[in-house]
Structure 1
Amino acid sequence: MSLTAELRSAGREPPLHLNLQLAPGAASVVRWLRILPAKRLVAQVEIGGQHRLLKLFIAAGSQRHCEREASGLRALHEQNIPTPELIGEGELEGGGRYLLSAYLGGAETLQQQWDALNTREPGDGEALALLGQALALIATMHSRGLVQTDLHLGNFLRHHEQVYVIDGDAVQALSPGAPLSAEQAEDNLAIFFAQLDPEWDAFCELLLIGYLQHNPLALNPDRLAAQIARVRQRRLDDFLSKTLRDCTQFSVSRSWGRFTAVVREQCQRLAVVLSSPDDALAIQPLLKDGGSSTVGQVTVDGETVVIKRYNIKGIVHWLKRFWRPSRAWHSWLAAHRLQFLGIATPAPLAMVEQRFGPLRRRAWLVTEYCSGVDLLRYLGEDGQRLPDDAAAAAMLRLFAQLVQARISHGDLKATNLLWWDGKVVLIDLDAMQAHASDAGWQRAWQKDRQRFIRNWPAGSPLAGWLDERLPRL
């Protein structure tokens, strides 16, 4: 078996200690940095006592992908955009190809630095500064006719206070050496801003001040906003489809009797629970044991998760539900939608459907455990006490986010909102909807709004406070 064929067949577990004969010399893999099974592998390697970055292209179209990556890196070098030096390229045994570039030891992506911030709240000073560094480099690229079509913080690398562009595969030279048009720049900037939570949209003009210092253009803010919304929706649709298929982020398996989707990094930890979720529920005290659902919390590796089983109450109930996606399926997608949009909800970890061929039966949803207290208890049932400043801000923020995203919950009992860690967290997403039509959205929002206010007695101070402040559309 050739080296390329061996690496393809290895899937997600390429050999830990691999030696390769490359044109610059013998390369020994120190560690794998990224694995796209049967497509591309990225490793830190040692050659002649020096560490390098090695990209292995092993898919059927490896030559095309390798050439595109090399072309993008050369375009960056030609326009003096900081990027790791390309050292060598060549063929692998069996039809694959490789690229060898400088390895920047101790470097971090801007995404890693973003994740490490104490807060990434919209408008936070540190977060603004980090985004500004990326935008300064994007502006320089645009002023020299280059774009990165996969524009996110993970494709910027900081090393010794210098920020580098990586991933040449996504770099295109639209007008080498000459500035992009305003429309081209807006289209590319929309890709960057669409990566952020929608609440950051209000800070786009502030962030663009730094961009315009490096690349003065007459940008159209209305067109940019429309492009951001369009790109974000496309990204959301793509992401939700990934939650239901096997990919880098999710492990999905199907059989005649079962469908399972799980966040890949949770596979090993949840293996026992997912193999028999009812056994896990049976040995734990239940949070809820109703006709339509059963909910329990389970400790796994020292951490608590919540299992919700969606029950079939009888043959009539099954006849109404067997032909459509289960409530677990719906809640799985709803929770990932909220997380994508930066709306607080317990992290969805796994979903299981029991099936008979295409027919659905019982289903289970596994989420992280949120130890918060529900708003009915936190604010009091009599409605006599108004929320403190922190709770008021968090509650109004949540409703503003839902309105911006045109999402209705469908059952806004105060017990379905938890006060936890300075946030109001939304749970029980069985009836959640994202609305496309204005009429449907307004009807659903008014129903949600009225249901939430009715948690407290009419005429109470809290009911009046909410009626004054919740959006009316």
Structure 2
Amino acid sequence: MTSPATSSAPDLQQYAKGAASTAFGLVLDDGSELQSLEVVRRVPGKRLVCRGLLNGQAIYAKFFIGKQAAKYAARDKRGSIWLAQAGIATPALLLESRVADQGCEVLLYAAVSARNAEQVWQDIDAGERLALARRLVAEIARHHRAGLLQTDLYLKNFLADAQAIHTLDGDGIRRLRAFGRQRQQWDNLACLISKFDVDAVPAWLPNLLQQYAVAIGDKQPGIGRMQRLVARHWQNDMRQYARKVQRSCTDVHVEQTSQHYLAVNRAKDSPVLRQALAAPDGLLDAAGALRLKSGNTCTVAAIEIDQRKMVIKRYNIKNFWHGLGRAWRPSRALVSWANAFRLQVKGIATPTAVAVLERRWLGLRREAYLLTEFVHACDAAEFYADASIDQEAREQVARRIARLFFQLFCLQLEHGDFKATNVLIHDQHPLLIDLDSMRQHRCRKRSERRHVRDLQRFFKNWQADAETSWLLTKAFRAVYTDGRVLDQAGIVVK
């Protein structure tokens, strides 16, 4: 349904904050009428991106809000002009305007009939992903050949169709500096490669580097150097996102007072959820709640909020001294919350984190609560103990578990408690749970030692099951490109 443009402009700040989401119309200062505007992206207090219509033509409207709106609009426009001048495919800039009474700058871009590269990536298999990765690498080489650098390298900033890759987000386009130009190019290439499937990168790297060298007409970087650069970007991506979701951002809303700290996943937020979180202890004992664990350190229950099944985990304070020790440190609930998003940003499956709540007294932390989506699944031990599951499914799940471990190894992540019960098998795919002991290591050697310990702890679950142990060993040996850590962990095919 088309929303007519009105002379009374809606409050764009409310749309940017997520407080409003309905389609709307708008009249710009130059008289242009925008219709059927729907929010596709928001950066609270700074930017709002909508798709809609201008005189019947499909467009994307970028609204720049706040004190630095003019600066960011000018930068976005400049980047788009540079791309167009270099002959790089990018949506055409149609109009520049304002909504003066809201201090808002507006850029209108033509809609391109191509899909977001991130969406395309999710819908294709491994072989097709390598082909798309080669096309994206070649596109970045064209940027570099034109003296340009895309500093906001995410797959969602590219559109892909059969003919071309279209570059979005002129705001992230910069000129390559004359000094250290090759180093900038290689680091930028590593940033792009770090967005591909973590476990595929080691095998793809020689192919991608060759593609880059052909496209740019220059020598390719060494594989070892590129591996180090990619690993550094993996580390930075996870750390930045883990910090980001502990404050208000596009994905998370945060409320903080001297009595509590609350972070809620915007995609899962609702008034009913907020009301339930006002009395979290009541959720654990509510009628219909299924108690999963009643331990000294934590209490876990499966519950239902707003007709959605969830799991709530309360991290208890055992005594005065335990409370004193926990008062100054981030709670285990908050650590789990950050780690869930750390895994999410790298495509590692874990139940979606819905909310985290820390009770505080004069700013000192007390009990903490973590709310996640409920996943109806058995754990890895139950899966392999089920004699009704056929051999093909067992082998497929073993390969996927091995892939999960290899991803953690590449990312230098230590789980810290790899019991079989902490790996759920949902629709023959493993999901990692119980993330409060997970750590991200800076030191590669320390990470390898910890990964060996994770491997040994996991395989300990099948000491009495030689068949499953052999099945998993074979899968791990097939997935790991370097078998050193497997040798150190004693995982050998006998």
Structure 1 partner of 2:110: 102
Unaligned runs of 5+ in 1: none
Tell me the secondary structure at the aligned position of residue 448 of structure 1: helix
CA–CA distance in structure 1, aligned partners of residues 290 and 115 of structure 2: 44
- Of 451, 454, 473 in structure 1, the residue corresponding to residue 460 of structure 2 is 454
CA–CA distance in structure 2, aligned partners of residues 466 and 111 of structure 1: 31
Q: CA deviation at 1:310?
A: 1.2
What is the letter of the counterpart of residue 362 of structure 2? G
Structure 1 partner of 2:119: 112
Q: Give per-residue Cα distances to partners, 1:284-310, cap 9 Å, x unaligned.
A: 121112222111112345442211111
1:184 aligns with 2:184: yes
Q: Give per-residue Cα distances to partners, 1:178-214, cap 9 Å, x unaligned.
A: xx95433212211211222421322122234444443
TM-score (norm 1): 0.86
Structure 1 partner of 2:480: none
What is the letter of the counterpart of residue 206 of structure 1? N
Aligned partners of 2:312 and 2:372 also within 8 Å = yes
Note closer, same or farther for the CA distance 1:33–1:334 as it changes in structure 2 (3 Å cut): closer
Structure 2 partner of 1:423: 429
Aligned partners of 1:400 and 1:471 also within 8 Å = no
Q: CA deviation at 1:456?
A: 4.1
Structure 1 partner of 2:227: 225
- Of 255, 264, 267 in structure 2, the residue corresponding to residue 265 of structure 1 is 267
Note closer, same or farther for the CA distance 1:3–1:228 as it changes in structure 2 (3 Å cut): farther
Structure 2 partner of 1:146: 148
CA–CA distance in structure 2, aligned partners of residues 16 and 446 of structure 1: 53
CA–CA distance in structure 2, aligned partners of residues 78 and 300 of structure 1: 53
1:66 aligns with 2:73: yes
CA–CA distance in structure 1, aligned partners of residues 465 and 57 of structure 2: 74
What is the letter of the counterpart of residue 31 of structure 1? E
CA–CA distance in structure 2, aligned partners of residues 189 and 132 of structure 1: 12
Q: Give per-residue Cα distances to partners, 1:389-424, cap 9 Å, x unaligned.
A: 223323333333333333333323222222333333
Note closer, same or farther for the CA distance 1:355–1:78 as it changes in structure 2 (3 Å cut): same
Root-mean-square deviation (CA, aligned residues, Å) is: 3.4
Aligned partners of 1:73 and 1:83 also within 8 Å = yes
CA–CA distance in structure 2, aligned partners of residues 161 and 212 of structure 1: 21
Q: CA deviation at 1:11?
A: 4.6
Q: CA deviation at 1:9?
A: 6.5
- Of 365, 387, 398 in structure 2, the residue corresponding to residue 392 of structure 1 is 398
Unaligned runs of 5+ in 2: 1-6, 478-484, 489-494
Structure 1 partner of 2:205: 204
- Of 222, 231, 246 in structure 2, the residue corresponding to residue 244 of structure 1 is 246
Structure 2 partner of 1:164: 166
Q: Give per-residue Cα distances to partners, 1:72-99, cap 9 Å, x unaligned.
A: 1111111111112222324442554322
- Of 317, 324, 334 in structure 2, the residue corresponding to residue 319 of structure 1 is 324
Structure 2 partner of 1:331: 336
Tell me the secondary structure at the aligned position of residue 358 of structure 2: strand
- Of 442, 457, 463 in structure 2, the residue corresponding to residue 436 of structure 1 is 442
Structure 1 partner of 2:3: none
What is the letter of the counterpart of residue 39 of structure 2? W
Q: CA deviation at 1:438?
A: 5.8
What is the letter of the counterpart of residue 365 of structure 1? L
- Of 113, 134, 137 in structure 2, the residue corresponding to residue 135 of structure 1 is 137
Note closer, same or farther for the CA distance 1:139–1:5 as it changes in structure 2 (3 Å cut): same
Tell me the secondary structure at the aligned position of residue 198 of structure 1: coil
CA–CA distance in structure 2, aligned partners of residues 196 and 418 of structure 1: 24
Note closer, same or farther for the CA distance 1:294–1:170 as it changes in structure 2 (3 Å cut): same
Tell me the secondary structure at the aligned position of residue 100 of structure 2: coil
Identity, in percent, stands at 33
Q: CA deviation at 1:315?
A: 2.6
Structure 2 partner of 1:280: 283
Q: CA deviation at 1:140?
A: 2.3
Q: CA deviation at 1:239?
A: 0.4
Q: CA deviation at 1:45?
A: 4.4
Aligned partners of 2:235 and 2:411 also within 8 Å = no
CA–CA distance in structure 2, aligned partners of residues 321 and 137 of structure 1: 49
Tell me the secondary structure at the aligned position of residue 340 of structure 2: helix
Note closer, same or farther for the CA distance 1:9–1:263 as it changes in structure 2 (3 Å cut): closer
Structure 2 partner of 1:193: 193
Aligned partners of 1:416 and 1:426 also within 8 Å = yes
Aligned partners of 1:294 and 1:310 also within 8 Å = yes
Moved more, 455-464 or 202-211: 455-464
Q: Give per-residue Cα distances to partners, 1:97-131, cap 9 Å, x unaligned.
A: 32223233x542111222333x5xxxx11222332
Structure 2 partner of 1:256: 258
Aligned partners of 1:348 and 1:367 also within 8 Å = yes
CA–CA distance in structure 2, aligned partners of residues 29 and 235 of structure 1: 35
CA–CA distance in structure 1, aligned partners of residues 426 and 61 of structure 2: 44
Q: CA deviation at 1:345?
A: 2.4
Aligned partners of 2:258 and 2:360 also within 8 Å = yes
